[in-house]
Structure 1
């Protein structure tokens, strides 16, 4: 055991199903930005660590819906086009920006886009799965899976919940070659008894938010009378980086995510100040940002060490973030991540995965978890509150209709497969989240309605025995949402 204790970083990669569904702010542009600015650099960092012989660097969650998009031929072609367009936009910015700092930024964007293009063309053209599999097989990361389409599991019928979970795990096994033993449950949503479904599906560990454990996150715990283990996110440490009100990315020196130069589509400004209007923000200066990265990395390491010293020995700290924070939302995030993962071992902290933490003995006694999530109030209000009461009612009705329509059969039915696929897409937790948080709420309601309508159309055709018509409709829909080829409705 190292002197100070153990630290686990969990990063979770998730975006809703966006292919074929429009442009910025919530369509394919969102996917491409995250792909270019988060997934490419984070994977590059991990591959560099692999070449250095490092193992058990971090725990990475990749939701099946995102994995499907990063392997999808349509998405691969579209992203390649986007990367080329990024380079053209950088070249255009160089012709219209006159400030020396912005001229340097345009040149930097050109170099970054050229590097991304080369990386994609030489390593990613066959999708994310071959890239990810190398990291998993090499023991560099621990991979977490999850249920198909990222539903809020506590609001699902038990039968549908089990099917979604097994479909998602099977999809990951199909892509990577191994079935995940751990998951980041969508929204960290939990209701008592779900651990039994996890155990039946082969899930051995999952993540909850710290308050579900009343802040007792210094060890993992078995849940109820099962052998399934939960880890709690340490909010005191996690919120140093990213909290509902503050965090490192808001530093004045960092690149401002929200301020655009609209003709080029690039982001030329630094944060400057919380209340500074976009037109008054100062140009981005990489040197200032680099100093802030080192300062914040040192602060985070100090925070982890202080936290570990305050815990009974041996202590554990788990910090968890969306992968998209590192590079997409926070431009300097990958550099900060590199600095932290380098400095923590130098400070006497073991850095490992959730699996590695268990192997190191960080297992406490059993707990009975309450109904919980990571969202506002740490309960379910984001996904079943007053603002989305109509969506919750519609989803319950959809689930009843799905179970009433499905019939036992030994023969696989592509129309039934597509019907279930549309139902699961309609039940995605993202739509309620976006409505409750008023983040592109109209888009979210539209998407939920579109998938629910497609489900209803197919269900009606199947119920009346219009087999040929149902197959034709399913075939057309499959062209637009090529998601989860392994999904087999007979398992529901």
Structure 2
């Protein structure tokens, strides 16, 4: 008997890191690592479930920048070169570690793993969106959209036109790639504010994923808290993140990924082996970076790490997946006693957790989904869209502004270290609105310049840049990205307003920042 539902939602996002103007751009590796560690392993999980006849439903947001990069010919060629280098290095490691039986076993595991990744990649014609489209068409995966470049929408709302453009561009690009309109959206950083509601309704969005406090603190207070969706004034449903399910995965104290048997993220041969040996597998500048070959397990709070034992890690995966399934079952049993409709436990996570930060994450997903299909569970996996189709009547309540960032507000993306960004973004947005309103009948070259100005603006608006600055990681790169896109925007603005456009100048920008080939600059018009 089905007493309730679990909705597993994976948010797949990376900033747009395409750099044909740079030889061996280090940041492009963010994408290549995610493909190796997250996206292909998860594709293999879905394929394995389908081949075994396991019924399942999963939701994934794939943001427009990530979709664009997965579809990009240049990046796919660069990724294949990266993957072949990984295979070459892994084979060298088998030779180097031949005298150490345990270490040699792990190195052989990496050869098999990388070769398996290549097999899957080629199976889908070196276009991973082919796989996600297939799963979406089969009905086992619902792909939902996001805003154009993951801009933190409440902080851009000074100019309503730019918020609408972020959302509309995201919806339209989804249609181009997926072949149909999206029903749901992942609001960047789960950041909600009241002004988004009518725009989502206008764009045909039926639901969005919200931080737990957006729903639990909604007005009037929801009867079932986050165990059921609520409906905004315009009828858009909000599904609130379940706190208990989140803690079991995310918590630094209680979360599964911290188990001593799982692979240690912070020990990679890229930092440990002699430079003469490793130099051909890192960036040409000689900066030491991850290669993806990591030989140690977490072990414990010690620097003396033990070798990774894959079999032991997979045993822990089964235990943790069993516990997660049992916990959701108990949760649903308890909730269903008090509710007049089956509860839904909404479990949203960053996809990049599963495989990148938590190497065994895709294996965990596989085991949990198989558990959910077993007869002992009293819940089923579903998607927000299907839950709304089954139970369309929801409580009308206004979600509270919030995000899933630290403290549940917007302070990660707006603080003393990164607040300068927004003054620049707001000024550029006002200039973009003026441009859109000023050119009623532009020439073909002016149309291209207007479209490129819109591209540069949305790329500058990515929430990744203030996030990186806040967390003090690749700060120089984040600052440069904001400033570069804004500088290009200003150059385009000046050329358009002073009638000195040159085709060569436009083409150079189009070749570098080529996202959204059909972007509609008229979205910025306010009349």
**TM-score class, shorter:** over 0.9
Local SS of the residue matching 1:404: helix
The 1:439/1:92 distance shift into structure 2, 3 A limit, reads: same
How far, CA to CA, are the matches of 1:431 and 1:73 in structure 2? Answer: 25
Q: Which residue of 1 aligns with 2:402?
A: 372
Which structure 2 residue ranges, 5 or more long, are not aligned? 218-224, 279-290
Indicate if the aligned counterparts of 2:435 and 2:450 stay in contact, CA closer than 8 A: no
How far, CA to CA, are the matches of 1:210 and 1:189 in structure 2? Answer: 11
How far is the alpha carbon of 1:410 from its aligned partner? Answer: 4.3
Q: 1:394 aligns with which of 403, 412, 424?
A: 424
Q: Which residue of 2 aligns with 1:261?
A: 269
Structure 1, residues 77-109: CA drift from partner, whole Å, max 9, x if none? 001111101101101212222432210111111
Local SS of the residue matching 2:296: coil
How far is the alpha carbon of 1:189 from its aligned partner? Answer: 1.1
How far, CA to CA, are the matches of 2:387 and 2:462 in structure 1? Answer: 31
Q: Which residue of 1 aligns with 2:469?
A: 435
The 1:220/1:25 distance shift into structure 2, 3 A limit, reads: farther
Report 1:70-81 matches (<5 A). 70-81=70-81
Indicate if the aligned counterparts of 1:23 and 1:29 stay in contact, CA closer than 8 A: no
How far, CA to CA, are the matches of 2:37 and 2:413 in structure 1? Answer: 29
2:146 is the counterpart of 1:139: no
Moved more, 456-465 or 53-62: 53-62
Indicate if the aligned counterparts of 1:87 and 1:114 stay in contact, CA closer than 8 A: yes
Indicate if the aligned counterparts of 1:220 and 1:362 stay in contact, CA closer than 8 A: no
Structure 1, residues 431-472: CA drift from partner, whole Å, max 9, x if none? 0111112222222111111111111111111111112x2x32
How far, CA to CA, are the matches of 2:35 and 2:46 in structure 1? Answer: 15
Q: Which residue of 2 aligns with 1:335?
A: 363
Report 1:67-106 matches (<5 A). 67-97=67-97, 98-106=99-107
Q: Which residue of 1 aligns with 2:282?
A: none
How far, CA to CA, are the matches of 2:383 and 2:100 in structure 1? Answer: 45
Q: Which residue of 2 aligns with 1:283?
A: 307
Q: Which residue of 2 aligns with 1:114?
A: 115
Q: 1:320 aligns with which of 348, 356, 375?
A: 348
How far is the alpha carbon of 1:47 from its aligned partner? Answer: 2.5
Local SS of the residue matching 1:383: coil
Q: 2:215 aligns with which of 213, 219, 244?
A: 213
How far, CA to CA, are the matches of 1:212 and 1:295 in structure 2? Answer: 32
The 1:56/1:67 distance shift into structure 2, 3 A limit, reads: same
> How many residues were matched structurally?
484
Which structure 1 residue ranges, 5 or more long, are not aligned? none
Q: 1:404 aligns with which of 415, 434, 438?
A: 434
Q: 2:326 aligns with which of 291, 298, 302?
A: 302
The 1:367/1:409 distance shift into structure 2, 3 A limit, reads: same
Q: Which residue of 1 aligns with 2:284?
A: none
Structure 1, residues 165-212: CA drift from partner, whole Å, max 9, x if none? 111111111111011110001111111131100000111100001111
Report 1:224-263 matches (<5 A). 225-243=233-251, 246-262=254-270, 263=273
2:508 is the counterpart of 1:482: no
Q: Which residue of 1 aligns with 2:189?
A: 187
Structure 1, residues 406-448: CA drift from partner, whole Å, max 9, x if none? 3243455111111110111001000011111222222211111
How far, CA to CA, are the matches of 1:244 and 1:414 in structure 2? Answer: 48
How far is the alpha carbon of 1:364 from its aligned partner? Answer: 3.2
How far, CA to CA, are the matches of 2:124 and 2:91 in structure 1? Answer: 25
Structure 1, residues 134-164: CA drift from partner, whole Å, max 9, x if none? 1111111111101111111112221111112
The 1:18/1:246 distance shift into structure 2, 3 A limit, reads: farther
How far, CA to CA, are the matches of 1:187 and 1:23 in structure 2? Answer: 32
Q: 2:494 aligns with which of 448, 460, 463?
A: 460
Indicate if the aligned counterparts of 2:54 and 2:373 stay in contact, CA closer than 8 A: no
Q: Which residue of 2 aligns with 1:415?
A: 449
Indicate if the aligned counterparts of 1:208 and 1:232 stay in contact, CA closer than 8 A: yes
Indicate if the aligned counterparts of 2:57 and 2:383 stay in contact, CA closer than 8 A: yes
How far, CA to CA, are the matches of 1:48 and 1:486 in structure 2? Answer: 36
How far, CA to CA, are the matches of 1:85 and 1:117 in structure 2? Answer: 11
Local SS of the residue matching 1:207: strand
Indicate if the aligned counterparts of 2:10 and 2:350 stay in contact, CA closer than 8 A: yes
How far is the alpha carbon of 1:3 from its aligned partner? Answer: 3.8
How far is the alpha carbon of 1:359 from its aligned partner? Answer: 2.5
CA RMSD between the two structures? 1.9
How far, CA to CA, are the matches of 2:522 and 2:387 in structure 1? Answer: 38
How far, CA to CA, are the matches of 1:246 and 1:449 in structure 2? Answer: 40
Structure 1, residues 104-141: CA drift from partner, whole Å, max 9, x if none? 1111111111111122123132x233222211111111
How far, CA to CA, are the matches of 2:313 and 2:53 in structure 1? Answer: 29
Indicate if the aligned counterparts of 2:413 and 2:463 stay in contact, CA closer than 8 A: yes
Local SS of the residue matching 1:381: coil
Indicate if the aligned counterparts of 2:258 and 2:298 stay in contact, CA closer than 8 A: yes
How far, CA to CA, are the matches of 2:55 and 2:434 in structure 1? Answer: 48
Structure 1, residues 375-407: CA drift from partner, whole Å, max 9, x if none? 011111111222211112222222122222332
The 1:440/1:349 distance shift into structure 2, 3 A limit, reads: same
